Amino acid sequence: MKKNILLIFLSTLILAYSSSIVWAEPYTETTLHHDENGILELNAEAAILIDAMTGEILYEKNSTKKEYPASITKIMTALLAFEYGKMDEVITFSHNAVFGIEPGSSHIALQENEQITMEQAMYALLLRSANESALGIAEQIDGSVEKFAEHMTARAKELGCNNTNFINPNGLHSENHYTTAYDMALIAKEALKFDEFKKMIQTTYYEIPPTNKQEETRYLYAQHQMIKPPSKYVYEGCEGGKTGFTDEAQNTLVTYAKRDNTELIAVVLKCKGAQHYEDTIKLFDYGFSNYKTVELYSIEQSSQKIPITTQQNQKLETDFIFAKPSETVYKTVPIDFDLSKVTKKINSIENLNIPIYKNDVVATVTFYYEQKPIQTMELLAQNSIVSEQQSITASAQNDKKINNTKTSFSNDKIWFFDSVSSLFIFAVFCSIISFFVALIISRLLYRKKQKKHRFAKRKR
């Protein structure tokens, strides 16, 4: 009896345990890679999938764990180049830029004192992952690699990257050079605001013509396999990204893909073999199959008319103000989301301080889907409002300024005419004095001449 009870107990435990096990599905490009709880099975040590428009996280795995980035570091280098450089400026590559990289690491064989444009250096950076190109860009923008690395870290922190520290602009290994999947997604999202960056990462082939040191054309080919036919990893909607590898970092990958109005960024860190491509495809399959991006409010729409209430019930020139969000409002939603079911409610802020200036927050707009709030945005004033008293005071002050100006002008006129009169009188006075002085001198000379004439007569 006891044995039967024990067998029943053990059987129950086995069934309970087996029900919690996730059984992996065989890989196909159309399979949705997730277990019964919707969690993807990835080989990457860390990964993240975000909406490039909204920044919303669609999937993450150890996304805040610090890892070595390798050459995906160069996305941060590119971001600063777009923000602080000019694509037509010429970079002269120093001895340090050319020889300051590890032997055998990625390069395009630039020579000391060789000159190429910033744009050419950027294509070398993003297509061929040229490490000397990264050093040359750094020196061009901030004067030294060290200052540029500090600049990279500071800019990353501005973007919200709290677990990132950069030591160099190319990603060659350093113990204190690290980032996270989440931080790299933020950096990529910011870089994608530049159309030139999008153009470069989509490019599969680029030529650098002969230079002052190189007689032959350099031919650059993209390394990202998801945009390079006939690679088996070519993916519909993929628009490029950046690869990375060092022995310590293993394979790292940042990729951008777009289908219809939905734009996604996938980051995978510390992958072996081709797992970085396989995991990225799994992420994109999951994202595009389950989510889409919708526009809730366009910045191009007309402003909302907002009623105004004040703290002291002040009398205003008008009882409403026009307002709108500072930017177009996007939302990441499930794939079956029905945009026609979205409603919105505007809530004006009560007891506003007057005056209201342009771009002051005067209301909020909340969007609802099936009566449930899904997003709230601030509405900013599109014009300024003052109270009647402030308007009267401002008008009076303006009149006073005008009167003061008129008075000043009148005083200036009086002073001018007084000055002219004084000068005229002074000139007349001087003329009279000069006349009498000349008369006296003439008289004295005449007497002297007469005296001399009489003396001559006596002598004869």
Among 170-184, 405-419, 444-458, name the most confident range.
170-184
**What is the model's pLDDT at position 313?**
60
Q: Average pLDDT of the chain?
A: 84
Q: Is CATH 3.30.70.270 what the domain over 46-292 is classified as, yes or no?
A: no
- Give the model confidence (pLDDT) of 310-336 as tens digits: 666 666 667 677 888 888 899 999 999
Tokens of 16: 């309970």
**What is the model's pLDDT at position 408?**
56
- Alpha-carbon distances of 75 from 70, 126, 148, 382, 402, rounded to whole Å: 11, 8, 14, 36, 57
The CA-based angle 93-95-98, given to 5 degrees, is 65
Q: Tell me whether residue 411 is exposed, middle or buried, using C-beta atoms within 10 angstroms of its C-beta: 0 to 12, 13 to 18, 19 or more.
A: exposed
**Under 8 Å CB-to-CB from 113, ≥6 apart: which residues?**
92, 93, 94, 212, 213
Neighbouring-strand partners of residue 302: none
- Give the model confidence (pLDDT) of 127-155 as tens digits: 999 999 999 999 999 999 999 999 999 99
User: Class of 298-388 per CATH?
Assistant: mainly beta
- The ranges of the chain annotated as CATH 3.40.710.10 are 46-292
**What is the model's pLDDT at position 306?**
80
Q: What is the distance, to the nearest Å, from the Cα of residue 393 to the centroid of all Cα atoms in its chain?
A: 41
- Give the model confidence (pLDDT) of 279-307 as tens digits: 999 999 999 999 999 999 887 777 887 87
Q: Half-sphere exposure of 359 toward its Cβ, with a 13 Å CA cutoff?
A: 2
- The ranges of the chain annotated as CATH 2.60.410.10 are 298-388
- Give the model confidence (pLDDT) of 192-249 as tens digits: 999 999 999 999 999 999 999 999 999 999 999 999 999 999 999 999 999 999 999 9
What is d(CA 440, CA 446) in angstroms, rounded to the nearest whole number?
Answer: 10
Which of the pair, 89 or 447, is modelled with greater confidence?
A: 89
Question: Is pLDDT at 399 greater than 70 in this prediction?
Answer: no
Q: Considering only CA atoms, which of 330, 325, 331 is closest in space to residue 302? A: 325
